[in-house]
Amino acid sequence: MKENVSSDSLPKVIFFITGFFLFLLPLIPDEKITRWKLWVLESGLFIILITWIFNKINSERIYIKNSELNKPILIWLIFSIFLYIISSNLHIAELELYRVIICFLSFFVFSNIILKNGRKEILIRFWLIGGFLSVIYGLMTHYGGFWIITTPKVDRIFSTFGNPIFFASFLVVSFPFIIYKITLSSNFLNRFFWFIISLAFLIALFFTKSRAGWVGLGVSSLVLIFNLLKTKKQKIFFIIVFSIITAGFIYKTKNVWTRQQAHLLIWRDSLKMVSRNPLLGVGLGTFHINFPNYASEELKKIWPQMQNIVNDAHSEFVQILAETGIIGFGIFLWIIIIYFLQLNKFKKNINDKNKILLQNVGLASVCGILVQNLFSVDMRFTISSFYLFTVIGITSSLPDNYEVNININKNQKYFFAVILIAGIIFLEYNMVVKQYRSWNLVFRSKDFLNTKILNSDDQKKIVQKMIDSNPGDAQLYFKLGYLWANEIKTNKEAIQKAIEYFSKAADINPAIENGGAYNNLGNIYFTIGNRAMAKENYIRAINVNPKLIDAHLNLGIAYYYDGKLKESVAEFEKVLQLEPKNLQAVYMLKKMRE
């Protein structure tokens, strides 16, 4: 009997891992820099892939979905790798490349690995129950807790997603699948259960106060319900009712819609950037570095450069165009167009009502998140991209007659398995382990201003006597400056003393401690808020010793706080040239993007 994909049962372990992964993901807390949710996402996908690879080693035949999306998504990945290779900001481009890799893997996993419709139904349930628990927590934060449970109280809720717009994106992409569960429910209790969940999702989305999220849900609901209605009269009636409800909602929430965020100014200035770099854009992931050079004075008045960093274009489509140019933007549009054309083609090949319903649900979900990203950049957050390409993958796997058999012998299987697993381990280290180590190092490390010195007063007296006997010794002045510097946070007199002795050391010997006197002066000035003098001294230290890593790192941080991101990145890149494993530079490059 001929083996085919539809009859190929996946091991229970893959199914369990995937279900638990989808349940757990919405519940993992997310914070800037630490990004626990992102690390669970990446590690979870890698575990699923490795398990699948081991399973396929022992399979007689290997099938994959011959989706029309395989080619454009693969080309998008290859083009992103090309942009990474030619980038002058490799470590910045690397973070964006990782997002594209996750998009590619998400599509592959859910279009090829999770094949049976019944299994999809169960996995969707895992996804939504986990999401419901995160929604409950989000609602609790709006009120500061419930009963004996207390939580932080926030105006715009974000649950475990770290940001209201990211939470809104999750709600928008998930909501059509709740309608799917309501439609499939065979009894009143099940329908009531999923109705309560849908109500909780809607209330949570309202409390995110994300205008883009509201628009996304509106479009998503319009697409889904319009496709579910049978007659022309029903559709006309629905559009009238929908329009009345929408108008009333907009009026009721007019304060949110009129909130000033300068989006139009950012889009205008972003398009200036596109006009100067039309074909390949400014570089993968480098929008925030280059945008300050194009920001208008009008925008700077609203968002002063030294107080605010414009990290994104506030439209994913504008940002893709700015970073990857017409070519990259064209490839992304190609993916979207092929997706819609493919779904239309699938309608002619699917007779199962449940599959048709799931296809319409997937279409509504994708439309919702894409429309939301016209006015936001939720897809910059990898978790939002993951859910988008997961839905695309699920709906691409629906037809049973779009498979291709890969004929390779056992030795070839082992060879490719080793290559793939090695690649996954490499990605796991760079995307998860290295990022965690950089975060952990920075939070554990202390600078010299925070180092406690025992018997500091006695040591200062001894060093001062030595200076009296040998007033031309730069090392002694450096030591005395160091002793005073450790007191500047508790002793105002120490500030001038430390500056005086470090300056004296540098005057006698600028190369003392390889430029360390100037670097330490920079740290003192930075600590007391004089960034101009801090930068001046860091530059002096670098002129004395171009390989002084601390000075490059500190100068990069000073530029960062001045809003000069391009100059800041140049310093961090220099640090990584001198010391490729410098985790503090990795941390700062990541912090800058977030």
| 253 and 384 assigned to the same domain | yes
Residues 424-463: tens digit of each pLDDT: 888 887 777 777 766 666 555 555 555 555 566 778 788 8
Mean pLDDT lowest among 140-144, 177-181, 254-258, 291-295: 254-258
166 in any annotated domain: yes
Q: Which SS3 state, helix, strand or coil, does residue 404 take?
A: strand
Q: What is the 3-state secondary structure (H, E, C) of 184-239?
A: HCCCHHHHHHHHHHHHHHHHHHHHHCCHHHHHHHHHHHHHHHHHHCCCHHHHHHHH
Computed over every residue of the chain, the mean pLDDT equals 84
Angle (deg, nearest 10), helices 583-593 and 565-578 = 160
| 486 and 398 assigned to the same domain | no
pTM score over 0.85? no
Query: Of 374, 404, 437, which closes a domain?
Result: 437
Q: Which SS3 state, helix, strand or coil, does residue 445 take?
A: coil
Query: Of 382, 406, 437, which closes a domain?
Result: 437
Query: Of 417, 437, 457, which closes a domain?
Result: 437
556 in any annotated domain: yes
Structure tokens at 46: 């890698």
Q: In 3D, which of 108, 136, 163 has the Cα closest to residue 379?
A: 163
CA neighbours closer than 13 Å in the CB half-sphere of residue 481: 27
Residue 352: what residue type? D
Answer positive or negative: Cα dihedral of 483, 484, 490, 491.
Answer: positive
pLDDT of residue 362: 92
Structure tokens at 576: 């990584």
Residues 174-196: tens digit of each pLDDT: 999 999 999 888 888 999 999 99
Q: In 3D, which of 239, 208, 236, 237 has the Cα closest to residue 221?
A: 239
421 in any annotated domain: yes
Q: Give the model's confidence band at 3: pLDDT under 50 very low, under 70 low, under 90 confident, else very high.
A: very low
pLDDT of residue 216: 93
550 in any annotated domain: yes
Q: Give the model's confidence band at 28: pLDDT under 50 very low, under 70 low, under 90 confident, else very high.
A: very high
| 195 and 337 assigned to the same domain | yes
In the block, tokens 């730069």 appear at: 474
What does DSSP assign to residue 405?
A: E
Structure tokens at 192: 């009531």
pLDDT of residue 6: 37
pLDDT of residue 251: 79
In the block, tokens 């129950």 appear at: 129
172 in any annotated domain: yes
Number of domains in the chain: 2
442 in any annotated domain: no
| 47 and 169 assigned to the same domain | yes
| 430 and 475 assigned to the same domain | no
CB 134 within 8 A of CB 159: yes
230 in any annotated domain: yes
d(CA 344, CA 398): 13
In the block, tokens 């209605």 appear at: 229
| 426 and 280 assigned to the same domain | yes
| 415 and 489 assigned to the same domain | no
pLDDT of residue 401: 58
List 405's β-bridge partners, or say none: 63
| 459 and 388 assigned to the same domain | no
What does DSSP assign to residue 580?
A: T
Q: In 3D, which of 51, 72, 68, 40 has the Cα closest to residue 114?
A: 51
d(CA 302, CA 298): 7
List 63's β-bridge partners, or say none: 405
Q: Give the model's confidence band at 136: pLDDT under 50 very low, under 70 low, under 90 confident, else very high.
A: very high
Q: In 3D, which of 212, 132, 106, 126 has the Cα closest to residue 169?
A: 212
pLDDT of residue 7: 39
Structure tokens at 295: 């920001």
d(CA 83, CA 364): 32
Residue range 272-287: average pLDDT? 92
Q: What are phi and psi of 32, to 5 degrees?
A: -60, 145
The CATH number for 581's domain is: 1.25.40.10
| 425 and 517 assigned to the same domain | no
443 in any annotated domain: no
| 416 and 465 assigned to the same domain | no
| 350 and 463 assigned to the same domain | no
Residue 479: what residue type? K
Range of the domain at 561: 448-593
Q: In 3D, which of 555, 371, 292 has the Cα closest to residue 282?
A: 292
| 274 and 422 assigned to the same domain | yes
Neighbours of 244 (CB within 10 A): 10
Task: List CB contacts of 192: < 8 A, sequence separation 6 or more.
Answer: none
pLDDT of residue 184: 86
Residues 569-584: tens digit of each pLDDT: 889 889 988 888 787 8
Residues in the chain, total: 594
